[in-house]
Chain A
Amino acid sequence: MYIHQHTCISAQETFENINLDIIHPPVGNKLVAKEPVYKGIPPGILRRMGKAVRMGAGAGLPIIENYRNINGIIIGTANGGMEDCIKFLNQIIDYEEGMLTPGNFVQSTPNAIAAQIGLMATNKGYNITHVHRGLSFENALLDAFMMLKTNPEASYLVGTVDEISAYNYNIDYLDGWYKSELHPGLSLYDTGSPGSIAGEGAAMFLVSSNRKNAIAQIRDIQTIHTTDHAVLKEMLREMLHKNALHTGDIDLLISGENGDIRLLPYYTEVTRIFNNTTAVVRYKHLSGEFPTSSAIATWLACGSSLPAHLFQSGYTGAAAKNIMIYNNYKGLQHSFILIGKSFGS
């Protein structure tokens, strides 16, 4: 499966005028997305969109403009329009189930993002929404992978959206997934405390079986639910073996390390499997933590070169050929995404 175009709306300068040397730090423990001026969306429609739908359509439509004949839209989102969802819920309680307006309800269903993109692009093809929390993106990728196996001539828009709403932030905060505060000057990775910082964003990809002029190849996707380090390491070894790769062949590991001391051992163990010929990049200090953040890592992997400041170790300035992305969501949901950048054309 090959990626031909990629877009990203995040807390950093990742849309249109991409500049990863400018760093926007978190505000109040949140990395809120820098939303662009949404040129392609009529103002009347834009006003009615919740943020998740807006970011999804905003990131997806520029790709659809270039690829009008895509065969379907495959979206991963853990929560969809959470803000609209709780707005509607609050109306139910606050007005004691009085007469409510359905707008928030319709915008709150997670499939509203894929639906809205399909509607705006008049795309009657395959349309689906994966909502498996920290593996929503991975299941969307796997879906596209299977679609392309059966329809080699096809192309699909695959992508993700998740938003920080005041509400899901509150729920995850109460559940201990965010730090109470982040000391200025102290790196996210050096806090030694539980929890991370909240993030949000949308990343979209055009995928097909066509190798010619592709930006990157998704070679394999593996997921597992476990808390057992040994099972995890075994899965990574098997994956490398299956793809006829040695650990030394992976020249870049993009690690989802997120500053949560409880999850650090998983990242440390996975990093240890590789030797010092594998560079390590971390990105959650720029994206924040959210269930579909591995899509941001995939977007980064598609870029031509990553700035030195993203590297934890092994920066050489050379472009990576084989990239492994490892992500772990809340200690249970793990994924490895293998990306190739050198496949001839």
Chain B
Amino acid sequence: MSRVVITGLGIISAIGDNVNQNREMLIQGVSGISSLQFCDTRYSGLRPCGEIKHTIPSLKEKLQATEPGVTRTSLLALHAFQEACGNAKLQLSDIASPDTALIGASTVGGMCLTDELYHDANTKEEGSPYLSSYDCASVNLYLQQRYGMKGIINTINTACSSSANAIMYGARLLQQGLAKRAIVGGADSLAKFTINGFNALHILSPEICTPFDQDRKGLNLGEGAAFLVLEREEEVKDKTVYAILSGYGNSNDAYHPSSLSDNGDGPQLSMQRALETADLSPLQISFINAHGTGTENNDLSESTAMIRLFGAPPPFVSSKANTGHTLGAAGAIEAVFSILNLYHQEIYPSLQFKTPIETTLLTPVQEYRPASLQHVMSNSFGFGGNCSSLIFSRLI
């Protein structure tokens, strides 16, 4: 089976509008978590988030997105999509080709328009311009329409692991000859809906989150989008290859609708399966970008799973205190970070950590450092026990 390589990256998050800005902020250890400015909710001062400090009109203008019914989620997706396609030197004809797949993830879709949705769902009056923009698929359908894409298009929603599964699905399309290239990733924007949902579950932190810390108080939500261009190795010619997507694993924890098992069965299985598809042993993993949301439940379950699989886990970080938890975009955003780790042979610090969890005693890397990395794992775990792990490898 031919190897799947990454030839393009695009990202927008609370720490930057493009790949270079994100990398710079990661190196400097800057957190993008702050009080909400643009998302209208009574929790704006109470639950800090990783908000992208651009208004919808400014995004529309920058992207020349004048179509009616475009949502913030679609705008963020378009922003990252354009960067990734440009980075991979894709022509418009390449993007539209029947050989190009688009696999995107979203969990919020157009539900960021809480008030419009409330109106359209409950009243018989004339609808808003967003009637066909609420579902998760609307984001990718917008990109499909804008670029006249004729290949396989799909939208995946497995909650917080959605875009890791989108990356996996795209890679499998390439390996099975169903596409020549796949633009894969995810997008989610901050919404009153998710802020209230996670708040009702009592897992939103009142401060900047502290992943893997004994005294962690929950997660911060974030927003963003990231896309990767995947191509088969034999077809990339003289393009820059950032990394190989060498392994992927998906599992279900089958324990509880909204929390992970204490022994981390699901996370352990997804990491194990990723190692199997990559044909690697645990010892060969140089570094992990953990899911590390900063909730009591996730960080304990993930730590336990890492110890079960690795014994002494390799160096690891969580980037959630940088960007917030971007839900359906998280897997893709952290895939970009993992690829930057590999490509630049460096580790970005995990922020906000003070004290290891008593029972697991794991300590994330807390300072920037150059590092010799060969295989990097990225974890994403979601509600419904949906666990996914990806492995990226350095091209040698």
Which of A124, A139, A223 touches B254 (beta carbons < 8 Å)? A124
Partner pick for B131 among A88, A124, A174, CB 8 A cutoff:
A174
Least distance between B277 CB and chain A CB atoms (Å):
9
Are A111 and B121 in contact, with the CB atoms below 8 A?
no
Cα distance A166–B120 in the bound complex, in angstroms:
11
* Residues from 18 to 38 in B contacting A, C-beta threshold 8 Å: none
A105 vs B144: C-alpha distance when bound (angstroms)? 29
Question: Interface with A: B7-15, B193-201, B221-229, B365-373, which one?
Answer: B193-201
With A93-B118, A127-B158, A132-B140 as known contacts, state yes or no: A102 contacts B251, CB within 8 Å: no
CA distance A63 to B127 in the complex (A): 41
Interface centre among B120, B144, B150 (most CB of A within 10 A): B120
Segment at the B interface, from A1-9, A114-122, A186-194, A206-214: A114-122
**Is residue B357 contacting chain A, with contact meaning CB distance below 8 A?**
no
Residue of chain B at shortest CB distance from A174: B127
A-B contact count (CB 8 A): 194
Query: Which chain B residue shows the least CB distance to A101?
Result: B200
Cβ-based interface call for B341 (8 A): no
A72, A101, A143, A168: the one contacting B169 at CB < 8 Å is A143
Beta-carbon contacts under 8 Å, A56-88 to B: 72-73, 78-80, 85-86, 88
Interface residues of B in 142-161 (CB under 8 A from A): 144-145, 149-150, 152-159
Min CB distance, A79 to chain B, in Å?
Answer: 6
Contact with B along A157-186 (1 / 0, CB 8 A): 000000000111011101100000000000
Does B303 interact with chain A (Cβ within 8 Å)?
no
Question: Chain B 95-130, CB within 8 Å of chain A: the 1/0 string?
Answer: 000000000000100010011011011111011000
Cβ–Cβ contact B122 & A167, under 8 A: yes
Are A131 and B136 within 8 A (Cβ)?
A: yes
Contact B150 A119 (CB under 8 A): no
Q: Does B298 contact A (CB under 8 A)?
A: no
* Chain A nearest Cβ from B385, distance in angstroms: 6
B71-79, B255-263, B329-337 - the one binding chain A: B255-263
Q: Are A124 and B251 in contact (CB under 8 A)?
A: yes
Q: Assign chain B's interface to a size class.
A: 35 or more
Q: Is the beta-carbon distance between A102 and B118 smaller than 8 angstroms?
A: no
B253 touches which of A100, A124, A143 (Cβ 8 Å): A124
Are A126 and B118 in touch, CB under 8 angstroms? no
B265 CB → nearest A CB, Å? 6
In the complex, A123 has a CB within 8 A of chain B: yes
Are B154's CB and A105's CB within 8 A?
Answer: no
Please name all residues of chain A whose beta carbon is closer than 8 Å to the beta carbon of B192 when the two chains form the complex. Answer: 92, 97
Name the one of B153, B155, B157, B172 contacting A109, with C-beta atoms under 8 angstroms: B157
Q: A111 contacts which chain B residues (CB < 8 A)?
A: 157-159, 382-384, 386
B151 nearest CB neighbor, chain A only = A224
Q: CB distance B157 to A131 under 8 Å?
A: yes
Q: Across the interface, do A89 and B252 meet the contact criterion of CB distance under 8 Å?
A: no
Given that A102-B258, A127-B251, A132-B140 are contacting pairs, would A90 and B118 also be in contact in the complex, using a CB cutoff of 8 Å? yes
A283–B127 CA distance with the chains assembled, in angstroms: 30
Inter-chain CA distance A90–B137, complex, in Å, is 22
In the assembly, what is the distance between CA of A101 and CA of B152, in Å? 39
- Given the known A-B contacts A101-B200, A109-B157, A171-B131, are A146 and B251 also in contact in the complex, defined by CB atoms under 8 Å? no
A96 in the interface (beta carbon within 8 A): yes
Residues in B neighbouring A231, C-beta threshold 8 A? 150
Is A130 interfacial (CB-CB < 8 Å)?
A: yes
Interface status of B132 (Cβ within 8 A of chain A) = yes
> Please, which residue of chain A has its CB at the minimum distance from the CB of B125?
A174
A124–B250 CA distance with the chains assembled, in angstroms: 9
- A248 located at the interface, meaning its Cβ lies under 8 Å from any Cβ of chain B in the complex: no
CB A40 to nearest CB in B, in angstroms, measures: 16
Question: Is A304 an interface residue when CB atoms closer than 8 A count as contact?
Answer: no
- Chain B contact residues: over half helix, strand or loop, or mixed? mixed
Q: Mark B360-396, 1 if CB is under 8 A from A, else 0.
A: 0000000000000000000000111110000000000
B210 within 8 A of A: no
- Rounded to whole angstroms, the CA-CA distance of A172 and B172 in the bound complex is 34
Interface centre among A126, A171, A330 (most CB of B within 10 A): A171
B266 at the interface (CB under 8 A from A): yes
**Are A109 and B201 in contact, CB atoms less than 8 angstroms apart?**
no
Complex Cα distance, B251 from A114, in Å, reads 12
Select one of B155, B252, B382, B383 contacting A124, CB under 8 A.
B252
In the bound complex, how far is the Cα of B178 from the Cα of A149, in angstroms? 12
Within 8 A of A (CB), among B259-309: 265-266, 269
Closest to A115 in B: B384
* Residue from the list A92, A106, A123, A171 in contact with B121, Cβ < 8 A: A171
- B-contacting residues, A17-54, CB 8 Å: none
Smallest CB-CB separation from A231: which chain B residue?
B150
CA distance A58 to B145 in the complex (A): 36
Interchain CB contact under 8 A, A102 and B383: no
CA distance A38 to B125 in the complex (A): 38
What's the Cα separation between A168 and B122 when bound, in Å?
9
Whether A171 touches B134, Cβ cut-off 8 Å, given contacts A124-B266, A224-B150, is: yes
Sample (24) of A-B pairs whose CB atoms are under 8 Å apart: A89-B117, A90-B122, A92-B114, A93-B115, A97-B41, A106-B383, A111-B386, A112-B384, A114-B252, A114-B386, A115-B383, A126-B250, A127-B250, A127-B386, A128-B158, A128-B386, A130-B156, A131-B135, A139-B152, A170-B120, A175-B131, A223-B153, A330-B132, A332-B141
Since A172-B131, A332-B141 are in contact, a sample of 12 more A-B pairs with Cβ atoms closer than 8 Å, ordered by chain A residue number, is A88-B197, A90-B118, A102-B200, A110-B157, A119-B254, A123-B252, A131-B157, A146-B172, A171-B127, A174-B120, A225-B141, A225-B144
Nearest 5 CB-CB pairs, A to B? A115-B384, A174-B127, A105-B197, A167-B121, A127-B252
